[in-house]
Structure 1
Amino acid sequence: MTPMSATVNAHAVRGDMNEVEPFYTVPEAGGILRLGRSKLYEELASGRLRFIKVGRSTRIPAEWLQEYRQLLITEGQGVAL
């Protein structure tokens, strides 16, 4: 595999495809999902969106953000506008 470079949280990251995915803050996750801060904290409190605590900081691994996104897509199927 060839090395790749990316920007994560405004920091340059270099590595191969086996590199660890980033952890997002609540505001970053909200920006990615286009959800407000309050709604995101509701989803965290309800357990629908998993998170970890690093000290006092709340972090959401990229993989869990993808799982939540898929949950929203699955729940939205079959809904008529």
Structure 2
Amino acid sequence: MSIATVETVRPTEVDGPPPVLLTVAEAARCLRVGRTTCFALIRTGELESLMVGGLRRVPADAPAAYLARRRAERRAA
């Protein structure tokens, strides 16, 4: 027998509006990279982020913008 993996979704993610800001871990999941890689992208300025109080947040559209830039660079090369 095999055990199926099911990703759980918190009710607030289903009921509320889409997030405007993502945590670094959420942005990393969007990009399918690890947190360390995501922090490296932030540190080099490749992935936009900002501080909210003492918390690092990534705008929800930043992962898509990063991918668009990478695709454009690849096409130009």
Structure 1 unaligned runs (5+)? Answer: 1-6, 15-19
Partner of 2:69: 71
Give the whole-Å Cα distance in 2 for the aligned partners of 1:8 and 1:68.
29
Superposition misfits of 4+ residues, deviation over 3 angstroms? 75-79
Q: What TM-score do you get using the length of structure 2 for normalisation?
A: 0.69
- Conservation of the 8 A alpha-carbon contact between 1:8 and 1:22: no
- The answer to whether the aligner puts 1:12 opposite 2:15 as a matched pair is yes
Q: Cα distance, 1:25 vs. partner?
A: 0.4
Larger strand proportion, structure 1 or 2? 1
Number of residue pairs aligned between Structure 1 and Structure 2: 68
- As a proportion of its length, which structure holds more helix? 2
TM-score (normalizing by structure 1): 0.66
Query: Structure 1 77/60 Cα, relative in aligned 2: closer, same or farther at 3 Å?
Result: same
Out of 46, 55, 58, the residue aligned to residue 57 of structure 1 is 55
Distance 2:64 2:11 in 1: 16
- Could you say which structure has the greater relative contact order, defined with CA pairs below 8 angstroms and 6 or more residues apart? 2
Find the aligned partners of 2:19 and 2:74 in 1 and give their Cα distance.
27
SS of 2:61's partner is helix
